[in-house]
Structure 1
Amino acid sequence: MIQHRFFDDYVKAWKTGKIVLNKERILLIAYLEKNIMTRDDLYFDEQKIDDYIAYTEKFFFKTAAYQRFIVPFIFLYEEDTGEPYFDEFFITIGRGGGKNGFLSSLGGFLISDLHGVENYDISIVANSEDQARTSFDEVHKMIYDNSLDDIYYNKKSIIRNYDTNSTLRFRTSNAKTKDGGREGAIFYDEIHFFENGEIVDVFSGGLGKVSGGREFKVGTNGTLREGYYDEMLKRSMAILKGEVLDERLFPFISRLDNVKEMEKPELWSKANPMLDEDTSYARILQGKIMRDYKKLKRAPSGRLAFISKRMNLPEVDMQKSVASKDEMDATARPIPDTTYMPGVFSLDFASIRDFAAVGALFKDNNTGDYIWKTHSFALRNYLDAAKLEPPIEEWAHEGLLTILEEPSINPRHVVNWFVEMREETGINIICADNYKMEFIRPLLEAEGFEVNTIRNPRASHALLSSRVEDMFANHKIIYGENPLMRWYTWNVYVNVKKDGNREYLKKDEHRRKTDGFMALIHALYLSAEHLDIEESEFMLDELVF
Structure 2
Amino acid sequence: MIRQKYVDEYIELYRSGKVRFNKERELLIEYLEERVLTRDDIYFKDEMIENCIKFGEKWYFELQPFQKFLIAFVFLYWKDKPNTFYRKHLWTFGRGGGKNGLISVVTNFLISELHGVQDYNISIVANSEEQAKTSPDEVHKTIKRNPTLQKAFKTTLTQTVSKRTGSVLKFRTSNGETKDGLRDGAVVFDEIHQYESNKDVRVHISGLGKKLPPREFYIGTDGYVRDGFLDKMKEKSLKVLTGEARVNAIFPFICKLDSDKEIDDPANFEKANPMLSEPRGEYAEGLFSTILDEYDDLEDDPSNREEFMTKRMNLPVTDLEQSVATWEEIEAATEKPMPDLINEECIGCLDFASIRDFTACGLLFRDEDENYIFKTHSFVRKEFADKYYAYSKHAMGEGRQKFAPIREWENQGLLTVVEGATIDPHTIVKWFVDMREHYVIKKIVADNFRLEVLRPLFEEEGFELEIIRNPRAIHSLLAPRIETAFANKKIIFGDNPLMRWYTNNVLVVTKKDGNKEYQKKEPIRRKTDGFQAFVHGMYRADEVSTGGTFAFSDIKF
- TM-score where L is the length of structure 1: 0.61
CA 1:488–1:88: 2 relative to 1, 3 Å? closer
Give 1:353-392 correspondences, 5 Å limit: none
Q: Does 1:108 align with 2:117?
A: no
Matched with 1:165 is 166
Deviations 1:468-521 (A, max 9, x none): 969x9xxxxxxxxxxxxx999999943587721499xxxxxxxxxxxxxxxxxx
Matched with 1:289 is 291
Kept in 1: contact 2:224–2:511 (CA 8 A): no
Deviations 1:427-486 (A, max 9, x none): xxxxxxxx9xxxxxxxxxxxxxxxxxxxxxx99xxx99999969x9xxxxxxxxxxxxx9
Aligned length: 356
Matched with 1:29 is 29
Once superposed, what is the RMSD of the aligned Cα atoms? 3.3
Q: Does 1:138 align with 2:138?
A: yes
- Aligned-partner Cα distance in 2 for 1:212–1:321: 51
Kept in 2: contact 1:304–1:317 (CA 8 A): no
- Aligned-partner Cα distance in 2 for 1:490–1:288: 23
- Aligned-partner Cα distance in 2 for 1:140–1:27: 37
- Aligned-partner Cα distance in 2 for 1:195–1:121: 26
Q: Does 1:66 align with 2:66?
A: yes
- Aligned-partner Cα distance in 2 for 1:233–1:104: 24
Kept in 2: contact 1:307–1:314 (CA 8 A): yes
Kept in 1: contact 2:104–2:135 (CA 8 A): yes
Kept in 2: contact 1:321–1:492 (CA 8 A): no
More deviation in 214-223 or 150-159?
150-159
Query: Secondary structure at 1:186's aligned position in 2?
Result: strand
Query: How far is the alpha carbon of 1:233 from its aligned partner?
Result: 0.8
Query: Secondary structure at 1:212's aligned position in 2?
Result: coil
Query: How far is the alpha carbon of 1:245 from its aligned partner?
Result: 2.7
Matched with 1:279 is 281
- Aligned-partner Cα distance in 1 for 2:514–2:138: 36
Q: Does 1:210 align with 2:248?
A: no
Please tell me the residue identity of whatever aligns with 1:64. Q
Matched with 2:518 is 494
- Aligned-partner Cα distance in 1 for 2:181–2:276: 37
- Aligned-partner Cα distance in 1 for 2:185–2:235: 26
Please tell me the residue identity of whatever aligns with 1:278. R
- Aligned-partner Cα distance in 1 for 2:256–2:67: 16
Matched with 1:248 is 249
Kept in 2: contact 1:321–1:490 (CA 8 A): no
CA 1:304–1:246: 2 relative to 1, 3 Å? same
Kept in 2: contact 1:180–1:206 (CA 8 A): yes
Kept in 2: contact 1:255–1:272 (CA 8 A): yes
Please tell me the residue identity of whatever aligns with 1:288. T
Kept in 2: contact 1:320–1:495 (CA 8 A): no
Give 1:70-85 correspondences, 5 Å limit: 70-85=70-85
Kept in 2: contact 1:320–1:493 (CA 8 A): no
Give 1:339-488 correspondences, 5 Å limit: none
Kept in 1: contact 2:323–2:506 (CA 8 A): no
CA 1:489–1:69: 2 relative to 1, 3 Å? closer
Kept in 1: contact 2:224–2:514 (CA 8 A): no
Query: How far is the alpha carbon of 1:290 from its aligned partner?
Result: 0.4
Query: How far is the alpha carbon of 1:319 from its aligned partner?
Result: 6.9
Percent identity of paired positions between Structure 1 and Structure 2: 42
Query: How far is the alpha carbon of 1:69 from its aligned partner?
Result: 1.2
- Aligned-partner Cα distance in 1 for 2:213–2:250: 14
- Aligned-partner Cα distance in 2 for 1:490–1:502: 23
Deviations 1:98-152 (A, max 9, x none): 0000010011100000000000000000011010111000000111101122211
Kept in 1: contact 2:52–2:109 (CA 8 A): yes
Query: How far is the alpha carbon of 1:178 from its aligned partner?
Result: 2.4
Please tell me the residue identity of whatever aligns with 1:71. I
CA 1:487–1:260: 2 relative to 1, 3 Å? closer
- Aligned-partner Cα distance in 2 for 1:165–1:213: 17
Higher Cα Rg: structure 1 or 2?
2
- Aligned-partner Cα distance in 1 for 2:227–2:89: 20
- TM-score where L is the length of structure 2: 0.59
- Aligned-partner Cα distance in 2 for 1:233–1:172: 23
Query: How far is the alpha carbon of 1:153 from its aligned partner?
Result: 1.4
- Aligned-partner Cα distance in 2 for 1:75–1:180: 26
Please tell me the residue identity of whatever aligns with 1:18. K
Deviations 1:342-372 (A, max 9, x none): xxxxxxxxxxxxxxxxxxxxxxxxxxxxxxx
Matched with 2:188 is 187
Query: How far is the alpha carbon of 1:7 from its aligned partner?
Result: 1.2
Kept in 1: contact 2:507–2:519 (CA 8 A): no
- Aligned-partner Cα distance in 1 for 2:295–2:128: 28
Query: Secondary structure at 1:170's aligned position in 2?
Result: strand
- Aligned-partner Cα distance in 1 for 2:517–2:3: 50
Query: Secondary structure at 1:149's aligned position in 2?
Result: helix
CA 1:226–1:170: 2 relative to 1, 3 Å? same
Matched with 1:310 is 312
Query: Secondary structure at 2:85's aligned position in 1?
Result: coil
